[in-house]
Chain A
Amino acid sequence: MPIRETFWNIPHWAEIGQYVLGLLTFLILVYGIWRHIRRWKLDKSVLRPGQWGKRLTNLFTQALVQLRTLKDIYPGIMHFTIFWGTIALLIGTALATIDWDVTHLLFDFQFLVGVVYNLFEVILDIFGLLLIVGIALAIYRRYISRPARLQDFPEPGLGTEDAFILVMLTLIAISGYLVEGLRIAVTQPEWAAWSPVGNVLASLFIAIGDPTNQTLHLVLWIFHIVISFVMIAAIPYTKLFHLLAAPVNIFFSSLEPVGALAPARYTSGPGVEKMSDFTWNQILNFESCTRCGRCQDQCPAHISGAALSPRDVIIKLGMQVWEPENGKSLHGDVISAEELWACTTCLACVDVCPVFINQLWSIVDMRRFLVDEGQIDAMLQDALANLGRYGNSFGQSERMRAKWTQPIEPKIKDARKEPVDYLWFVGDYASYHASLTDITRMTSEVFKKAGLDYGILYEGEKNSGNDARRAGEEGLFEMMVEENVATFESCEFKAIVTTDPHTYNTLKNEYPAEVNGDKPILHYSELLDQLITSGKLELSKKLNYKVTYHDPCYLGRYNKIFDAPRRVIEATGCTIVEMPRHRDQALCCGAGGGRIWMDEIEVEERPSEARIHEAVGLGDVQVFAVTCPKDVTMYQDAVKTTGHEDRLVVKDLIELVHEAL
C-alpha cells in the first residue's frame, strides 16, 4: 500500500538537527515580527475595527483570492502561482510532519496512506510546478523584460533583496523536486507515477545508481531544509514581511468612501512633521509595500516626468520607519516638497495598490505640515488667500459669482429666498472662468427645458473646499464647510446638483451628514441621465459625432460614476470610442489637488497633452467630451499646445446635450 516514509534515508542526527534548526528559525521569525510590531506604535489613533463581515470578506477576496492583484494579468498570475505554490508546499510539509512525527510517532497512526497519499503526492507535484512557473514568470519579468516600475529604487540594496528572494525560491523548488526524484530513484515504489515530476527526475538518476544517489539525496535534503528555514526566517527582515503586513493592512483598511479624506489630526499642528506623527495604519501601509510599482505606472505626475513616484514615497517612508532618529528630517531629507506638490490627488495609485496602501493620505498629511509652516509657492498662496477672503480661487468679488446669469430671463431662482427642488451648486470654474460661462448658461437652459425646479445660491455659494483640503489647508476647508453648511441650512431644497466633480466629491463624501445624509447629491451628468431616461428631457437631434469620453478623477475613480455620462452621450446620438485608459484607468488631466493653482512643474509632457495624444491616436474621433469645468480649460489648452485644433474639439457634455435638443 502506498505510504509516506517521511524521513527515508535521513539519519537520526539530521532529523533532530532539523527540529533544532526549525526552533531557531521560529525564534528568529518571532523576534523579527516583534521588531515590526513594536514600531507600529499601537497607541496612535485611527484603528478602525468593526464591520467584521466586510473586513473578513476583503481579507478573503484580496489576500487569498487576490482579486486586485490579478487585475494586472501577468504579474497577477505570477504572484498567484508563487503564493499558492509556496503555501500548498508549506501545508504539504506541515501535513507530512504531523503524519510522521505526531500521529505516527505518538499514536502509531498515519493518514498519508493509500489513495490519500497518492493524491497528496500528485497535488503537491502540481503546485510545485505552479511555483516554478510563477518563479520563471518573475525572473523573466524582473531581469529580461525589465519594466520601469521595477527599476531605480531609491535604495540600490533593495534590488539585491529582490534577487535574494527569487534565488531562494528557485533553489527551494528545484532542490525539493531533486530530493523527491532521488528518493524515487532509489526506492522505486509502485506508486511512483503519482509523483509525475519526481518520477521523470528519478528516471534520470537511476543510471547513476547507489550509493551515490543516497548520498546525493542526503546532501540535497539538508540543503533544502537549510535554505527553506533561511527563507522563513527572512520573512520579517525582507519585503516578504508583506505576507503578514499586507493581510493585516487589508483587514484594517478604511471602509469609508474613498472620496472621504482622513481628517487632519492636530498634534503640534494639523499635519505630519515627523515619522512619529503618522498613525499606525499609515506605518502599516509603509510596511506592506512590496515595491511592485503599480502605483508609479499609474501616476500622472510620474508619467509626465515630475519628481514624484508614489512607489518611492512609500519605500522611503518604509525605510525611515526603521531609523526615525537617524538625523534625517522627514521633510527635505526623506521626502522633498517637490514630490509632495507634484501629486494631483487623482487616486490612481490608491486604486491599484494590491495591498491597499493609501499613498494619498500620507502625501496630504505631509502637505498639511508644509501649509501650516507657510512653505507653499506664491501662486498657491494667492489662491488659498483668495479662497479665504472671497470664497473663490479667482480673487474676484463674491458679487461677481452669478454675473454669468445676467443675460438670463427670467432670473434663475435664488435658492436662499425661495424653496427649490434642485439646489444647483455651480462651483468656481463654471461661475467665474470667462471661457466657461457660455457652457454654464447652456446647463441652465437645459435644466429649464427639462422643466426642472432649480435655483442657485448667487453670492452665497463659496468654494466647496475639496481642493483646498487636498492642497493641505485643512483649516480653510473646515471654514468653507461651515460657511456652506450654514447657507444650506437656510435653504429649502430636495437635492443638490453640482457642475464640478471636485465639489460633488466633497459634498457627497465629506460634508456633514445633515447635508449629504438625507438629500441626494448629484453630478449634472447623473441628473441629465435621469432626466433623459425618465423622458423629462427629450433630445430631438441625432448628432452622429464620434466621441471619446474622459472620466474626471473625482467623478470616475473617486465616485464610480462611469455609466451615466456615457448613457447621456449615447442619447445625443453620438458614438463613443474609448481611449485605452478609460473608466477607473483614466489618466488625470493634471489639475487636481490644488495643482491648477500652482506654478507649473517642468515636465517632459503635461498629463493633459499626453491625454490629447491618446485621443488623437484613436483615429477619426471628432469630439473629446468631458464632464468637469476644469477639464474643459485644461484640454482646450492642451489641444492648442499639441497643435490638434483642426482634429479634435473639446466639448462639455452639456454642449452635446444642448446641441441635440
Chain B
Amino acid sequence: MNIVVLVKLVPDLVEELEIDSSGATLDTTFMRMIINEPDEHALEQAIILKEREGGEVTVLGPAIEDIDGVLFTAFAKGSDRLIKLVDGFELEVNNHALARAFTSVIRELNPDLVLTGVQAHNDLDGSLGPLVAEYLGMSYVGYVSGVTSSGDKLTVRKEYPGGLIGEMEVAIPAVLGIQSAEQPPRYVAISKVRQAMKTATIDEQTLTELDPSGGPTVSQMFQPQVGERAEMIEGDIDQIAAKLVELFGDLGVV
C-alpha cells in the first residue's frame, strides 16, 4: 500500500504563548515548533500498516523550522520517502493554504491512503484532513484509532463521544484523520536518527504560491478572560492547597 503521511508543525507549548503587538497573531520571538502530536500517531499508524501489509510510506511536511529533524526521525522509524514543501511558509500557516499545497504534491504521489493527525491545537480554520480530502476528491474519516486493510477496502475504527466506537468500511483511496495509533508512537534512538541524517535524502518541492482563501481572518487574539463567577485562588502552593481543601469541605465533596 502506498501511504502518504502529512505532518504539520505547531507551537511547542513548553514555551508560554504570547500575543504579538498587532494583537491578532502569536509572538514568534520565543516560539518554537514541534510536530503535531496526532500527526505522530498518523505516522506510527502508517508504519504499523507498512510492517503488517507491506508498502511504502512517504512523509510530507512544510519547510518550517526543524522540519528536517522531524522527517529524519520519521525515516529512522521506518518511512521510506521524505518530502518537504519549500515556500514562504510562516510559522503560523492557515490550513486551507497548507491543504492546497499538500494536495498538489499528493496528486503526483498517487497514494492509496493519506494519513494525518485528526486535529492540531492551532487549527483556526478547521482541521487539515477534511480539507485535503475535499481538494483531492477522496472520502474522509476522522477520529480514527485503528486501520486494517483488505484489498481495496479499509476497515477503520472511529471514536465517537461517549466512549462509542464505530467500525466502518472505506474504499481506497481515502484520507484518514488519526486520533491515536494502535500503539503509542515508538521511541527511536538518537543513533538511528543520526544514521538517517547521513543516509536519507529529503526531496524539496517548491511551490509557486500559497492560497489561504476560504479561511477566516483573525481580528483579535487574547488570553482566556476570567469569568464573572470564577474565583481565582491566589497564593503559594500550600495556601492554594489549604484553600482548596476548605472549599471542598464547604461543598461537601470531602
Residues of B within 8 A of A476 (CB): 189-190
Contact B188 A474 (CB under 8 A): no
Given A395-B14, A399-B15, A399-B30, answer yes or no on A378-B184 (Cβ-Cβ < 8 Å): yes
Cβ of A297 under 8 Å from chain B: no
Residues of A within 8 A of B192 (CB): 372, 475
Given A399-B30, A475-B194, answer yes or no on A374-B14 (Cβ-Cβ < 8 Å): no
CB distance from A435 to the nearest CB of B (A): 10
Contact B14 A473 (CB under 8 A): no
Counting chain A CB atoms within 10 Å of each CB, which of B188, B189, B190 scores highest?
A: B189
Cβ of A479 under 8 Å from chain B: yes
Given A399-B30, A475-B193, A475-B194, answer yes or no on A376-B14 (Cβ-Cβ < 8 Å): no
Task: Tally the A-B contacts, defined by beta carbons under 8 Å.
Answer: 44
Quick one: which of B180-196 are within 8 Å of A by CB? 184, 186-194
Given A397-B14, A397-B15, answer yes or no on A479-B187 (Cβ-Cβ < 8 Å): no
Inter-chain CA distance A381–B190, complex, in Å, is 12
Cβ of A388 under 8 Å from chain B: yes
Contact A384 B187 (CB under 8 A): yes
Cβ of A639 under 8 Å from chain B: no
Inter-chain CA distance A57–B80, complex, in Å, is 56
Inter-chain CA distance A479–B195, complex, in Å, is 13
Residues of A within 8 A of B14 (CB): 390, 395-397
Contact A374 B15 (CB under 8 A): no
Contact B30 A374 (CB under 8 A): no
By beta carbon, the residue of chain A nearest B190 is A475
Residues of B within 8 A of A474 (CB): 191
The listed residue (A270, A376, A389, A395) touching B191 by CB distance below 8 A is: A270
The listed residue (B30, B186, B190, B194) touching A473 by CB distance below 8 A is: B190
Cβ of A147 under 8 Å from chain B: no
Inter-chain CA distance A270–B14, complex, in Å, is 31
CB distance from B27 to the nearest CB of A (A): 14
Residues of B within 8 A of A266 (CB): 191
CB distance from A354 to the nearest CB of B (A): 36
Inter-chain CA distance A342–B73, complex, in Å, is 29
CB distance from A209 to the nearest CB of B (A): 81
CB distance from B176 to the nearest CB of A (A): 24
Contact A374 B189 (CB under 8 A): yes
Residues of A within 8 A of B34 (CB): 389
CB distance from A617 to the nearest CB of B (A): 32
Residues of A within 8 A of B30 (CB): 399
Contact B189 A381 (CB under 8 A): no
Inter-chain CA distance A390–B15, complex, in Å, is 11
CB distance from B61 to the nearest CB of A (A): 17
Residues of B within 8 A of A385 (CB): 187
Residues of B within 8 A of A479 (CB): 190, 194
CB distance from B239 to the nearest CB of A (A): 15
Quick one: which of B149-201 are within 8 Å of A by CB? 184, 186-194
CB distance from B185 to the nearest CB of A (A): 9
Given A390-B14, A396-B14, A397-B14, answer yes or no on A475-B191 (Cβ-Cβ < 8 Å): yes
Inter-chain CA distance A228–B191, complex, in Å, is 55
Inter-chain CA distance A381–B184, complex, in Å, is 11
CB distance from A454 to the nearest CB of B (A): 28
Given A399-B30, A475-B194, answer yes or no on A374-B184 (Cβ-Cβ < 8 Å): no
CB distance from B89 to the nearest CB of A (A): 21
Inter-chain CA distance A385–B187, complex, in Å, is 8
By beta carbon, the residue of chain B nearest A371 is B189
Contact A374 B187 (CB under 8 A): yes
Contact A388 B190 (CB under 8 A): yes
| Interface flags, A386-406, vs B, CB<8A=1, else 0 | 001110000111010000000
By beta carbon, the residue of chain A nearest B32 is A397
Residues of B within 8 A of A372 (CB): 189, 191-192
Residues of A within 8 A of B188 (CB): 374
Quick one: which of A339-370 are within 8 Å of B by CB? none
Residues of A within 8 A of B15 (CB): 397, 399
Residues of B within 8 A of A384 (CB): 187
Counting chain A CB atoms within 10 Å of each CB, which of B34, B186, B187 scores highest?
A: B187
Counting chain B CB atoms within 10 Å of each CB, which of A376, A384, A395, A397 scores highest?
A: A397
Inter-chain CA distance A476–B194, complex, in Å, is 10
CB distance from B73 to the nearest CB of A (A): 10
The listed residue (B187, B190, B193, B194) touching A376 by CB distance below 8 A is: B187
| Interface flags, A149-177, vs B, CB<8A=1, else 0 | 00000000000000000000000000000
CB distance from A512 to the nearest CB of B (A): 18
By beta carbon, the residue of chain A nearest B188 is A374
Inter-chain CA distance A414–B119, complex, in Å, is 41
| Interface flags, A464-500, vs B, CB<8A=1, else 0 | 0000000001111011000000000000000000000
Cβ of A451 under 8 Å from chain B: no
CB distance from A437 to the nearest CB of B (A): 13
Cβ of A517 under 8 Å from chain B: no
By beta carbon, the residue of chain B nearest A472 is B189
Cβ of A189 under 8 Å from chain B: no
Cβ of A269 under 8 Å from chain B: yes
Inter-chain CA distance A569–B187, complex, in Å, is 44
The listed residue (B187, B193, B194) touching A371 by CB distance below 8 A is: B187
Contact B191 A269 (CB under 8 A): yes
| Interface flags, A373-384, vs B, CB<8A=1, else 0 | 010101001001
CB distance from B116 to the nearest CB of A (A): 21
Inter-chain CA distance A476–B14, complex, in Å, is 21
Counting chain A CB atoms within 10 Å of each CB, which of B14, B184, B194 scores highest?
A: B14
Residues of B within 8 A of A395 (CB): 14
Residues of B within 8 A of A269 (CB): 189, 191
By beta carbon, the residue of chain B nearest A389 is B34
Residues of A within 8 A of B190 (CB): 388, 473, 475-476, 478-479
CB distance from A128 to the nearest CB of B (A): 58
Inter-chain CA distance A132–B29, complex, in Å, is 81
Inter-chain CA distance A385–B34, complex, in Å, is 12
CB distance from A633 to the nearest CB of B (A): 16
CB distance from B36 to the nearest CB of A (A): 15
Inter-chain CA distance A374–B184, complex, in Å, is 11
Contact A473 B184 (CB under 8 A): no
By beta carbon, the residue of chain A nearest B16 is A397
Inter-chain CA distance A399–B194, complex, in Å, is 26
Inter-chain CA distance A476–B190, complex, in Å, is 5
CB distance from B144 to the nearest CB of A (A): 22
Inter-chain CA distance A18–B190, complex, in Å, is 64
By beta carbon, the residue of chain A nearest B66 is A389
By beta carbon, the residue of chain A nearest B30 is A399
Contact A475 B189 (CB under 8 A): yes
CB distance from B11 to the nearest CB of A (A): 12
Quick one: which of B1-31 are within 8 Å of A by CB? 14-15, 30
Residues of A within 8 A of B189 (CB): 269-270, 371-372, 374, 473, 475-476
Inter-chain CA distance A79–B45, complex, in Å, is 59
Residues of B within 8 A of A376 (CB): 187
Residues of B within 8 A of A397 (CB): 14-15
A-B contact pairs, 24 of them (CB 8 A): A269-B189, A270-B191, A372-B189, A372-B192, A374-B187, A374-B188, A376-B187, A378-B184, A385-B187, A388-B190, A389-B34, A390-B14, A397-B15, A399-B15, A399-B30, A473-B189, A473-B190, A475-B190, A475-B191, A475-B192, A476-B189, A476-B190, A478-B191, A479-B190
CB-CB nearest 7 A-B residue pairs: A475-B191, A475-B190, A374-B186, A374-B187, A476-B190, A381-B187, A397-B14
- 13 A-B pairs besides A390-B14, A475-B189 with CB distance below 8 A are A266-B191, A270-B191, A372-B192, A374-B187, A376-B187, A388-B190, A396-B14, A399-B15, A475-B190, A476-B189, A478-B190, A478-B191, A479-B194
